[in-house]
Amino acid sequence: MKVPVYQKGEGPIRAYGIQRKTKETDVRLSLALEGGEIAVSTGIGFFDHMLTAFAFYGGLGLEVEAKGDLEVDGHHTVEDVGIVLGQALSRTLGDGKGIRRFASAYIPMDEALCFTAVDFSNRPFLVFDAHMPQPMIGSYDTCLTEEFLRAFAVNSGLTLHMKCLYGKNAHHITEALFKSLGAAVKEAVVVTGDKVTSTKGVL
């Protein structure tokens, strides 16, 4: 997979490629806010599906190739992808000049309804309120969704609130969460002006 160096344009940096290698994982990722190819391979099928949904509904170009210690479990791989994706998003936004900054989205999936609100505040915080009725979705441990989102929020400087209002199927709940995250991010990163959206003048 080609991982580009970042590209600078007018306003915020809108594309970034990054690699993170540890003793547990090797993650290569490229992100483009203006769209592009979506190709995800982490070794965890359901997680690939969720990242693809996030990118599609976020209008993002996203390429991810991750190799991790799946013989242990999926935790390190999922968390480290969250770290790298958050870092790439932070770099694409630069100082946040001109972006809308705030956004929210409700997404239903069958019996489940989920809500996401985002603020690219440079004050990372996660509020996650989503009970998973089943512990596993294929080989994916449902508790890893919160771990991914925490890593993503912390490393992107994002204040992130996510809630499942109701639902009975963990697959539907998780998919609605990822789709609503994509939809909210898509709206929040739109460039609407040439100033930072803050009364302080900086994020």
Closest CA to 74 of 95, 102, 48, 99: 48
DSSP secondary structure letter of residue 99: B
Residues 6+ apart with CB under 8 A from 33: 14, 15, 59, 60, 61, 92, 189
Residues 6+ apart with CB under 8 A from 10: none
125 - beta bridge partners?
Answer: 159
3-state secondary structure of 129: strand
Q: Which amino acid is at 188?
A: A
Tell me: the pLDDT tens digits for 56-95?
A: 999 999 999 999 999 999 999 999 999 999 999 999 998 8
Tokens found for residue 132 = 């998973």
Tell me: the pLDDT tens digits for 87-141?
A: 999 999 988 888 999 999 999 999 999 999 999 999 999 999 999 999 999 999 9
Which position has the higher pLDDT, 1 or 193?
193
State the Cα–Cα distance between residues 78 and 140, nearest whole angstrom: 10
Domains and CATH numbers, the chain: 15-188 (3.30.230.40)
pTM reported for the whole predicted model: 0.92
Of 93-102, 116-125, 163-172, 181-190, the least confident: 93-102
